[in-house]
Amino acid sequence: MPSTVERPLPAGDPAAATPGWATTAEIVALGAIWGVSFMFQRVAAPEFGTAALAELRLGLGALVLLPFLARQWRSFPARIWPRVVLVGAINSALPFALFAWAAQNAPAGISAITNAMAVLFTALVGFLVFGERIGWRRSLALLVGFAGVVVLASGKTAGERIGLAVLAGCSAALMYGVGVHLLRRYLSGVPQAALAAATLGTSALLMLPFAIASWPEAPVSAPAWGSAVVLGVVCTGLSYAMYYRLVQRIGPARAVTVTYLVPLFAVGWAWWLLDEPLTLAMGIACALILGSVAIAQRR
């Protein structure tokens, strides 16, 4: 999921008049879209490989969001582009590549569960690197969340250990946590949807040489191509636009509640459409991690 910069909602915003049920429906729809993205990665990654799939996702997502960047181009003076490139590498290129690698080595639900750790890693990075107070509640949340990661990494699926895939997913979540703080400190005044287009586009350029070097030699099947296209266009480009619209309307603290839904949808989609097993370790880990996120989000 993308990082956001907290800022007050504009006074008199007509979006504030949107019915509560519509906002709830959008959050549920976004959770379903981001949840199914892990299933599409599971289908496409074995044929495309890590770099090629990440490149397709970055490039297609950037194209969908390009109109936002074109409309806000004057908000991007030359001096901030090095920051945009850095944030894009940390907040898009690396996480997308790590999740693409994990999708080749573990069920879709595993990556989705570790993705929920992004909220906790944001607090941890703020405490360790930027000197932010963490408080007893978030300290407890971190302990519970990491207990969930240990349970998840110690489990097996189809007889295979999934520890490295869990490590890759947690590393991607850590990158999201770092990205939140970089955005807050160095790009806080930039329109977020346009910034998403810029970071995805620059990340696609960074990933391009690796994608070309590792492009699959064998023909890629139609299901893998379809999964990659939907992953980039819908699960990245359109979903980012939906998310930033929610952030503008209800604020980042409430919009981030979609984090609770993503693992549940991901596990359900993969079980329904890919016949991936539901294990006890996955259930316990999901409960611990989502519980820890709930603790951390309480005010």
The CA distances from residue 117 to 91, 253, 267, 289, in Å, are 14, 16, 16, 7
Higher pLDDT, 161 or 37: 37
pTM: 0.89
Q: Which residues pair with 156 in a beta bridge?
A: 161
Query: What's residue 299's pLDDT?
Result: 59
Tell me the mean pLDDT in the region 66-94. Answer: 95
With CA atoms as reference, report the closest residue to 171 among 90, 80, 279.
Answer: 90
pLDDT at 49 over 50: yes
pLDDT at 161 over 70: no
pLDDT at 190 over 60: yes
In the DSSP assignment, the letter for residue 91 is I
pLDDT at 230 over 50: yes
Higher pLDDT, 135 or 53: 53
Query: What's residue 12's pLDDT?
Result: 45
94-103 and 20-48 helices, crossing angle to 10°: 70
Query: What's residue 294's pLDDT?
Result: 86
Averaged pLDDT score across all residues of the chain: 89
C-alpha span between 292 and 282 (Å, rounded): 15
Query: What's residue 124's pLDDT?
Result: 92
The string of DSSP letters for 172-201 reads: HHHHHHHHHHHHHHHSTTS-HHHHHHHHHH
Query: What's residue 10's pLDDT?
Result: 47
Query: What's residue 3's pLDDT?
Result: 66
Q: Which residues pair with 161 in a beta bridge?
A: 156
Query: What's residue 13's pLDDT?
Result: 47
The CA distances from residue 241 to 60, 61, 96, 125, 163, in Å, are 13, 10, 18, 26, 33
pLDDT at 9 over 90: no
Reported as a pLDDT band with limits 50, 70 and 90, residue 16 is very low
